[in-house]
Structure formats: structure tokens, C-alpha cells
Amino acid sequence: MPERAVRGVTLRYEIIGDDGPAIALNPGARRPYDELVGLSERIAEHGYRVLLHDRRNCGRSQLAIEPGGSEHEIWADDLYHLCNDLGLAPVFVGGASAGARLALLFALRHPGAVRGLLLWRVTGGHHAAHTLADDYYGQYIALANSGGMAAVCASPHFAECIRVRPKGRDELMQIDVKKFVEVMETWRQAFIHSASLPVIGATEDQLKSLAVPICLIPGNDRIHDPAAARKIAALAPQITLYEGVVEDGPDGNLKEHWDPDEWHAAEPKLAAIFAGFLEAQSSLPARLHGAAR
């Protein structure tokens, strides 16, 4: 797959589909983009190009723990520049969980470069914020403090990144432990701060300010609480909420974790919903206000 240097970091990417309006989809957590290939192929069959990429510190892209806002803001800015470099902007941006946070921040930080949002399994609430803050950041702070960067390299996530891209070990080992901990702690605090927001990563006022159409599919577990999706739906001006795409449970009895098999089985539904939304929006003029800044 091709690679591109974006803001000093090498990103691995793939474009599925030959022509048509461009879409950028993003997976959750720090997982590589592979899980979205099947869904992207289904969407591309309707006449779209889908950009997938491994975000920095994910999959086969470069490992770079650097300051510069929250991790999701950094990812959003990376994607913005990647889309511009590839001549794809303005794009529809979407994703699940962490990918949904990236998409929201892309729209908020670069409004002229986005045509609409495709969001599913959005994340919100105290349980999600504190649980994920430890998963994403706290555990690595503890590892670095106790065993240095060698311990970070040996952790399951970074060990897998190194396995698929061996030069990642040198990239991590060159990072000063103190700087690594400082950056991770900054990211952790930004995440925890979102516990009281409608959705992790965006305030009420920011959601109200979104000027693009949004297609939103709620999650059905405690991390991807459907209440967070309903809060977005109550605030964003141009939004369509699709409930019941996967099995819903009572709000007080949600699944503890999301079920990858359940969501994989729902891909035909997701693709049909997204394709219908995209068809309705793609007939509108593309807006590009300063997307190539």
C-alpha cells in the first residue's frame, strides 16, 4: 500500500474505488484500518472513493508521540492534510468510536474541507471517558515510568505496530521517557475533561455549530452509550439518527463491550444507510472554503 509524509510523519493509506465523491473512514481505538475494508468496498460499489489510512501510532504508520493538542486533534489535522495532498478535499468524513471523534474534530477544525459526517458507535459519558483514558494513556504512563520505552515497545499494541513495521521500535526508543509521559498525560487529561460533555471531544456549542449534514448510528454498549448519540442528535442542526441497526438493549442494561461480530454482520445495513445518505448529499454543490490552506 502507498505511503505519504504528512506533517513530518509517514502514513500508510489506501483508496478503494476508482472515482466519485471522496469519503474518509476511520476505525476505533488505535486499530489499523483493515476492519473497514469490507464496509468501504460495499460503499465504493455505489460510486464513491473511500480513503482509509493508519493514523500515526496505529497499524503500519509511523510511531510519533508528540505534543500538539489532544491525540484526536492531531489525527484530525493529519487527515486534513492527507486529503488535501491527495486532492480529495472536500470529503465526507466518518468513523466509529475514536474514528467518530476524529471525524467530529475534522469538521470542527476544518469546516471548509468537509461535506458531511458518517458516524457510528459514538462515545460519551463518565464511564467511557475514565475507562478509555486508562486504556489509551494511563497504562502506557505506568509502563514508561516502571520500565522505560522498552516496556512500552513490549506492550501488545506497540509490539504489534513494531511487528508490521519494525523501524517503529527505533522510533519509540528514541523518545525521551519524560517527554513520552508528559504527552500521554496531556492526552489523558484532555480525555477525562470530556467526561461531562455530550460526546467525548465536543461541547454543546461545538455540536450546535456543525453546518454539515450528519448520518448517525448509535452504539449499544456502555462505552458507546446510545444516550451520547441522542445528545448529538438533539444538538446538531442537520442530523439523521438511525436507531435499531444493531440489537438495542435498555439504557440501564447495556452490553459491557461492543461486539465486533455483531457490527461486522450489520455492515450491509450500514453500507445501505450510508449510501442512501451520500446519494442525497452528493447532488449538492461541494463546498471548499480554504480547504487547501
Edge to edge, what strands does the sheet with 49-53 contain?
Answer: 3-6, 9-16, 49-53, 22-26, 91-96, 114-120, 214-217, 239-241
Within a domain: residue 287?
A: no
Q: Give the mean model confidence (pLDDT) for residues 187-207.
A: 95
Q: pLDDT tens digits for 16-69? A: 999 999 999 999 999 999 999 999 999 999 999 999 999 999 999 999 999 988
Place 284 in a pLDDT band, splitting at 50, 70 and 90: low
Examine the domain organization and report whether 184 and 258 are in the same domain: no
Cell digits of residue 89: 478535499
Q: How many domains does the chain have?
A: 2
Written as one letter, the residue type at 34 is: D
What is the domain-level CATH number for residue 107?
3.40.50.1820
56 vs 72: CA distance, rounded Å: 11
Written as one letter, the residue type at 117 is: L
Examine the domain organization and report whether 109 and 156 are in the same domain: no
Calculate Rg over the CA atoms of the chain: 18
Element (H, E) at 95: strand 91-96
Examine the domain organization and report whether 138 and 227 are in the same domain: no
Segments forming the whole domain that contains residue 186: 130-191
Residue that wins the pLDDT comparison between 293 and 158: 158
233 vs 270: CA distance, rounded Å: 18
The pTM assigned to this predicted structure is: 0.93
Examine the domain organization and report whether 173 and 218 are in the same domain: no
Within a domain: residue 119?
A: yes
- Determine the 3-state secondary structure of 26 from DSSP: strand
Q: pLDDT tens digits for 222-268? A: 999 999 999 999 999 999 999 999 987 666 678 889 999 999 999 99
Within a domain: residue 291?
A: no
- Domain boundary residue among 191, 207, 239? 191
β partners of residue 214: 117, 239
Within a domain: residue 174?
A: yes
CB distance 91 to 52 below 8 Å: no
Closest CA to 120 of 240, 14, 276: 240
Examine the domain organization and report whether 218 and 107 are in the same domain: yes
Q: How far, CA to CA in Å, does 216 sit from each of 59, 73, 138, 179, 239?
A: 26, 21, 30, 37, 7
What's the pLDDT at 287?
44
> Would you say the C-alpha torsion 210, 70, 196, 120 has a positive or negative sign?
positive
159 vs 150: CA distance, rounded Å: 10
β partners of residue 4: 11
Within a domain: residue 258?
A: yes
